[in-house]
Chain A
Amino acid sequence: MTGQRPALDRRSFLRLTAASGAAVVLSTAVGSRPAQAAPGGLRVYVVVTDGMRPEEIDPVLTPRLHRLRTEGTWFPAARSLPVMETIPNHVMMMTGVRPDRSGVPANSVYDRAEATVRDLDRPTDLRFPTVIERLRSAGHSTGTVLSKAYLYGIFGERADHRWEPFPLLPVTEHAPDAATMDAMLAMVDRFDPEFVFTNLGDVDRVGHSDLTGTTLRLARTAALASTDLQIGRLVDHLRVTGRWERTALVVLADHSMDWSLPTDLISVDAILRTRPDLRSSIQIAQNGGADLLYWTGPAASRQAGVAEVRRLVAAHPGVASVHAPRDLRLGPEAGDLVAYCRAGWRFTDPTPLSNPIPGNHGHPATEPIPFLVSGGHPRLSRGAVSSLAVRTIDVAPAVGAAFGLGAPRGGYDSSVPADALRRLIPRG
């Protein structure tokens, strides 16, 4: 379905100087049309403010986002989907299908073939066509500007134009928002793609990298202000370059954020310590607020073993619920059980030091997300608030419809009416 992707050597690299004076390197598939390929038409920018909570859009703290929200359409009932992690929700935004169809249920999985726990950061991990390559096939130019190394990894060379995050900060492996926005503006100026998918990682990553937790709220506030500044740069740039009137800007988060106490830890490894028979048959892929558990013992004892693990894990006071992956529409990549923690708790496996990060997501407490559609396009709704229960998964059908793209084979997995999604972004 995804078609043949151009090999690396068929891509050209372009070094640009960003407005801030920094160097930006963009790679572009050979054969892509140069700048101003589609003059005058609709431009759709999807900007993910990674890990932002909906109430963090605030007139004082994030004035630019607040203004976009006030001037556009705001969806207070918006939520992330399982597992409430970065990679699966970015994949859902771009595919419009649930992980049992895309193959991407979490950030971290146990790869049975390779017998190792790893991030889903390879282009081949994503098995469903994204709206990025579907737009490209239909003759629309596309770009990705993703601040996190693993997002750059999984979306691979699907877009015409892409930026490899640089510089990467230590520990968090993400580029700061200022650098990401430099790249986005450079891409817009040079290639003016009709669709750009951008991830701003600071808000999420500040939460994750503050290992002590003591300054967390302060650091979070600073990150929100800085991310808001970058959003403001984007809007201002689109205005001064005359693009605003054809812009539809979708801003949303991939998941929310919860903070756990150092005392409220759940270790499945510790839970199973008294049962070495079970412990030796289980692999754990830790995803912060969710643990994915994989039965690797004898197939004959799988059913009974998994049931017993489920019982033991569910009995932990910090565990909110335990699910069979299919009940959350997760495929076999998610293993045999998914355990969610309660708000204020986190999983840390195998040892209590394995996950020292207080900022946490992946569990249902981190489902609420900001979600707004704004921009200068004359046919966008103004000052609207909608009860529509939009999800991350609804981005792809809305973007696709704006460019006249039909549903992919098998349809989208949206839970909101298709006609409501078609009205989200005006037809280009």
Chain B
Amino acid sequence: MTPPLPAVSRRRALQVGGALTGAAVLGTSAPTAASAAPGRPAFSHGVASGDPLPTAVLLWTRVTPTSAATPGSGTGPVVSVEWEVATDDRFRQIARRGTVRTGPDRDHTVKADATGLTPARTYWYRFRCQGVVSPVGRTRTAPADDAAVPRLRMAVVSCANLQAGWFGAYRSLAARTDLDLVLHLGDYLYEYAPGEYQARDVVVRPHDPPREMVTLADHRRRHAQYKSDPDLQALHAVAPWVVTWDDHESANDAWSGGAENHTPGAEGQWTSRRAASQRAYAEWMPVRYEAGGRLYRRLRCGRLANLSMLDLRTYRDQQVASPVDPALGDPGRTLTGPDQMAFLLEGLADPSVQWKLVGNPVMIAPVQFPSTLDTRVLQGVEGLLGVDLPDQVGGLPYNVDQWDGYPAERARVLARLRDGGIRDAVFLTGDIHSGWAAELPSDPLTYPVTGDSLGTELVCTSVTSDNLDDILGVPPRTASLGVETAIRGANPHVKYLDFDSHGYSVLEVTPAAIQMDWFVLLDRTSRTSGAVWSSSWQVAAGSNRLSPAAGRLS
């Protein structure tokens, strides 16, 4: 059925390798966007694909039809953009093509669902507007639903604050040729104004527009700024992305009725601000989501795995004021909302797939911060979590913005895993700017003796956003080491913790095991910094347990 995949030509390999040096554009034969003539359309924000299905992939780009039609401007003509999908990088074998109209009403972004494709197959795609051809992207369809899949490999990233550094993590990932997917767990962009949140005290790159993003135009311009980054463009162009948002796509610690970083009145209504952020997200991201719809959704990789992508901001009740707030235990408080909870439980219980992966924007493993931490460190942890921890009143503090702040709902999820005899549930998480590997204790009281675990959680660190050493203002791997030891001591189910590093993770899923490799960026403030391998942990099939991997993935 499936014709043999075209070999990666030497020319092609060089082009992909070119991403290492920051080249934004994967080579094409015809005229390219990089050389857009004045008065001609341009594709200045790269190309992207996302949410692959067995026979369809979503394609994305943004066309700038006239020089005046800048992002967020609301001006410019309505134009037709052609797209084509080919089985080879020279577009000799066109598998599918189509035309989409776009204009100022959607900020000249283009989303096309390329259907009728072959499962588990690599494709190349590009766009054309008035004879101008976009850069070329590579993408891949999902395997057929009942296919036996020997391996799924994906990048796992989150928390990329442009002001805090360069996207070396994206550049390193774009140089790989083994990725089926890129999983982005949120905080793809940040809302802050220059000077409000950066790399310690240094604004490595100031945000545009130079103010906190509140209006629709602000959000569009900010998205455009991020998508102008060559490293981000390069990673979008090598593999399909599966994304969800966390809070910073709208505002820090967002909940259904507001956000910590939202001032009603001065910054308008929360509902309008959120609507603007969601509309810009739908326009600018390669995701099967349109404003007003639901972002949570499920993808599947044959019989090997499903992937439930969660939205943990839109439906949640407000965070409690502190971990000792009596409202914490209220069984009615929700993080997911009832419909999404039903959706999540259904995905975990799917008997037709082996691994149940959850794209989980905030940590689900319980984490108690030990009372032995000194005041300065505790303030640093508070800074990292973005919450106030009480002064050791009534026991151990924890982070009320993650599942720890919604214990009744977490108990429902864990009960479903336990009562349903569900194995191989793995939560893939971002948000916390640090690398973690944790088990999910069946019973926290007996766990230290029995080790009984209901699932596992793997947390990637931030692409750039500040973490503990940055907040404490100390060199990496100094003060944090003691904190990590203390936290692991108080939380024996936490097997791995790195509070200091920035970087990315690579996850491999096979029928035998899941492994995550953590890579750390040498210097986020350097435009050319590379990344090195740091640690690897594994979950053997059926075990719900973590063990150190023998080595990094080859």
Chain A residues close to B by CB (< 8 Å): 54-55, 74, 76-77, 79, 256, 320, 342-344, 363-368, 385-389, 415, 417, 420
Q: Identify the 7 closest CB pairs spanning chains A and B, nearest first.
A: A76-B541, A385-B512, A387-B354, A76-B542, A385-B511, A77-B354, A367-B421
Chain B nearest CB from A131 CB (Å) reads: 24
Among A320, A366, A386, the most chain B Cβ lie within 10 Å of the Cβ of A386
Q: Is B148 an interface residue (CB 8 A)?
A: yes
Q: A76 contacts B421, CB within 8 Å?
A: no
CB neighbours of B512 from chain A (8 A) = 74, 76, 385
Q: Given the known inter-chain contacts A76-B511, A77-B424, A417-B146, please indicate yes or no for A389 contacting B419, CB distance below 8 A.
A: no
Please report which residues of chain B, range 300-341, place their CB below 8 angstroms from some CB of chain A when the two chains form the complex.
Answer: 302-304
Once the chains are docked, how many angstroms separate the CA of A55 from the CA of B512? Answer: 13
Q: A55 contacts B421, CB within 8 Å?
A: no
Using CB atoms, name the residue of chain B closest to A77.
Answer: B354
Once the chains are docked, how many angstroms separate the CA of A79 from the CA of B349? Answer: 12
Once the chains are docked, how many angstroms separate the CA of A367 from the CA of B420? Answer: 8
Q: Contacts A385-B541, A387-B355 given; 15 further ones with Cβ under 8 A?
A: A77-B303, A77-B353, A77-B424, A363-B419, A364-B419, A365-B418, A365-B419, A385-B512, A386-B511, A387-B511, A389-B351, A389-B353, A389-B354, A415-B351, A420-B148
Using CB atoms, name the residue of chain B closest to A79.
Answer: B351
CB neighbours of A385 from chain B (8 A) = 510-512, 541
CB neighbours of A344 from chain B (8 A) = 418
User: Which single member of A76, A366, A388, A420 contacts B424 (CB below 8 Å)?
Assistant: A76
Once the chains are docked, how many angstroms separate the CA of A76 from the CA of B415? Answer: 21
Q: B354 contacts A76, CB within 8 Å?
A: yes
- 0/1 string, B520-541, CB within 8 A of A gives 1: 0000000000000000000001
Q: A55 contacts B543, CB within 8 Å?
A: yes
Q: What are 12 pairs between A and B in contact, CB < 8 Å?
A: A55-B542, A77-B424, A344-B418, A363-B419, A368-B421, A368-B542, A387-B149, A387-B353, A387-B354, A387-B355, A388-B148, A389-B351
CB neighbours of A367 from chain B (8 A) = 420-421
Q: Given the known inter-chain contacts A76-B511, A387-B303, please indicate yes or no for A364 contacting B543, CB distance below 8 A.
A: no
Q: B542 contacts A364, CB within 8 Å?
A: no
Using CB atoms, name the residue of chain B closest to A84.
Answer: B421
Q: Is B423 an interface residue (CB 8 A)?
A: yes
Once the chains are docked, how many angstroms separate the CA of A367 from the CA of B349? Answer: 12
Chain B nearest CB from A388 CB (Å) reads: 6
Once the chains are docked, how many angstroms separate the CA of A11 from the CA of B146? Answer: 47
Q: Is B21 an interface residue (CB 8 A)?
A: no
The dominant DSSP class at the B interface is loop
Chain B nearest CB from A342 CB (Å) reads: 5
Q: Is B392 an interface residue (CB 8 A)?
A: no
CB neighbours of B543 from chain A (8 A) = 55
Chain B nearest CB from A381 CB (Å) reads: 12
Once the chains are docked, how many angstroms separate the CA of A76 from the CA of B354? Answer: 8
Once the chains are docked, how many angstroms separate the CA of A74 from the CA of B542? Answer: 11
CB neighbours of A368 from chain B (8 A) = 421, 423, 542
Q: A342 contacts B419, CB within 8 Å?
A: yes
CB neighbours of A386 from chain B (8 A) = 148, 511
Please report which residues of chain B, range 344-375, place their CB below 8 angstroms from some CB of chain A when the two chains form the complex.
Answer: 351-355
Once the chains are docked, how many angstroms separate the CA of A344 from the CA of B511? Answer: 29
Once the chains are docked, how many angstroms separate the CA of A328 from the CA of B419? Answer: 17
Among A387, A388, A415, the most chain B Cβ lie within 10 Å of the Cβ of A387
Once the chains are docked, how many angstroms separate the CA of A292 from the CA of B185? Answer: 45
Using CB atoms, name the residue of chain B closest to A321.
Answer: B419
Chain A nearest CB from B509 CB (Å) reads: 10
Chain B nearest CB from A127 CB (Å) reads: 26
CB neighbours of B351 from chain A (8 A) = 79, 389, 415
User: Which single member of B304, B415, B418 contacts A387 (CB below 8 Å)?
Assistant: B304
Once the chains are docked, how many angstroms separate the CA of A283 from the CA of B149? Answer: 47
Q: Given the known inter-chain contacts A342-B415, A387-B354, A389-B351, please indicate yes or no for A76 contacting B420, CB distance below 8 A.
A: no
Size class of the contact patch on chain B? 20 to 34
Q: A366 contacts B421, CB within 8 Å?
A: yes
Q: B541 contacts A365, CB within 8 Å?
A: no
Once the chains are docked, how many angstroms separate the CA of A422 from the CA of B185? Answer: 41
Q: Given the known inter-chain contacts A385-B510, A387-B148, please indicate yes or no for A365 contacting B303, CB distance below 8 A.
A: no
Q: Given the known inter-chain contacts A76-B354, A79-B351, please indicate yes or no for A388 contacting B418, CB distance below 8 A.
A: no
Chain B nearest CB from A55 CB (Å) reads: 6
Once the chains are docked, how many angstroms separate the CA of A76 from the CA of B425? Answer: 13
Chain A nearest CB from B345 CB (Å) reads: 12
Using CB atoms, name the residue of chain A closest to B416.
Answer: A320
Q: A76 contacts B419, CB within 8 Å?
A: no
Using CB atoms, name the residue of chain B closest to A256.
Answer: B421
Once the chains are docked, how many angstroms separate the CA of A364 from the CA of B541? Answer: 19
User: Which single member of A364, A388, A389, A415 contacts B421 (CB below 8 Å)?
Assistant: A364
CB neighbours of B302 from chain A (8 A) = 387
CB neighbours of A365 from chain B (8 A) = 418-421
CB neighbours of A54 from chain B (8 A) = 423, 542
Once the chains are docked, how many angstroms separate the CA of A261 from the CA of B508? Answer: 38
- 0/1 string, B536-554, CB within 8 A of A gives 1: 0000011100000000000
Chain A nearest CB from B51 CB (Å) reads: 22
Using CB atoms, name the residue of chain B closest to A344.
Answer: B418
Once the chains are docked, how many angstroms separate the CA of A310 from the CA of B541? Answer: 36
CB neighbours of B419 from chain A (8 A) = 320, 342-343, 363-365
Once the chains are docked, how many angstroms separate the CA of A255 from the CA of B541? Answer: 18
CB neighbours of B146 from chain A (8 A) = 417
User: Which single member of A76, A342, A388 contacts B423 (CB below 8 Å)?
Assistant: A76
Using CB atoms, name the residue of chain A closest to B442.
Answer: A343
Once the chains are docked, how many angstroms separate the CA of A387 from the CA of B510? Answer: 8
Chain A nearest CB from B547 CB (Å) reads: 13
CB neighbours of B511 from chain A (8 A) = 76, 385-387
Once the chains are docked, how many angstroms separate the CA of A55 from the CA of B149? Answer: 23
Once the chains are docked, how many angstroms separate the CA of A389 from the CA of B542? Answer: 12
CB neighbours of B418 from chain A (8 A) = 342-344, 365
CB neighbours of B421 from chain A (8 A) = 79, 256, 343, 364-368
- 0/1 string, B494-522, CB within 8 A of A gives 1: 00000000000000001110000000000
Chain A nearest CB from B22 CB (Å) reads: 39
Chain A nearest CB from B529 CB (Å) reads: 38
CB neighbours of A420 from chain B (8 A) = 148
Once the chains are docked, how many angstroms separate the CA of A27 from the CA of B510? Answer: 47
Once the chains are docked, how many angstroms separate the CA of A387 from the CA of B418? Answer: 21
Q: A389 contacts B303, CB within 8 Å?
A: yes
Once the chains are docked, how many angstroms separate the CA of A20 from the CA of B15? Answer: 70
Once the chains are docked, how many angstroms separate the CA of A86 from the CA of B146? Answer: 30
Using CB atoms, name the residue of chain B closest to A255.
Answer: B421
Chain A nearest CB from B393 CB (Å) reads: 31
Once the chains are docked, how many angstroms separate the CA of A386 from the CA of B149? Answer: 9
- 0/1 string, B141-185, CB within 8 A of A gives 1: 000001011000000000000000000000000000000000000
Once the chains are docked, how many angstroms separate the CA of A365 from the CA of B146? Answer: 25
Please report which residues of chain B, range 107-157, place their CB below 8 angstroms from some CB of chain A when the two chains form the complex.
Answer: 146, 148-149
Once the chains are docked, how many angstroms separate the CA of A387 from the CA of B511? Answer: 5
Chain A nearest CB from B530 CB (Å) reads: 34
Chain A nearest CB from B423 CB (Å) reads: 5
Once the chains are docked, how many angstroms separate the CA of A55 from the CA of B418? Answer: 15
Chain A nearest CB from B224 CB (Å) reads: 41
Once the chains are docked, how many angstroms separate the CA of A368 from the CA of B149? Answer: 21
Once the chains are docked, how many angstroms separate the CA of A306 from the CA of B423? Answer: 33
Once the chains are docked, how many angstroms separate the CA of A386 from the CA of B304? Answer: 9
Once the chains are docked, how many angstroms separate the CA of A193 from the CA of B296? Answer: 55
Once the chains are docked, how many angstroms separate the CA of A54 from the CA of B543? Answer: 8
Once the chains are docked, how many angstroms separate the CA of A281 from the CA of B351? Answer: 36
Chain A nearest CB from B424 CB (Å) reads: 7
CB neighbours of B149 from chain A (8 A) = 387
Using CB atoms, name the residue of chain B closest to A383.
Answer: B512
CB neighbours of A343 from chain B (8 A) = 418-419, 421
Chain B nearest CB from A22 CB (Å) reads: 36
CB neighbours of A387 from chain B (8 A) = 148-149, 302-304, 353-355, 511
Among B149, B424, B541, B543, the most chain A Cβ lie within 10 Å of the Cβ of B541
Once the chains are docked, how many angstroms separate the CA of A334 from the CA of B462? Answer: 54
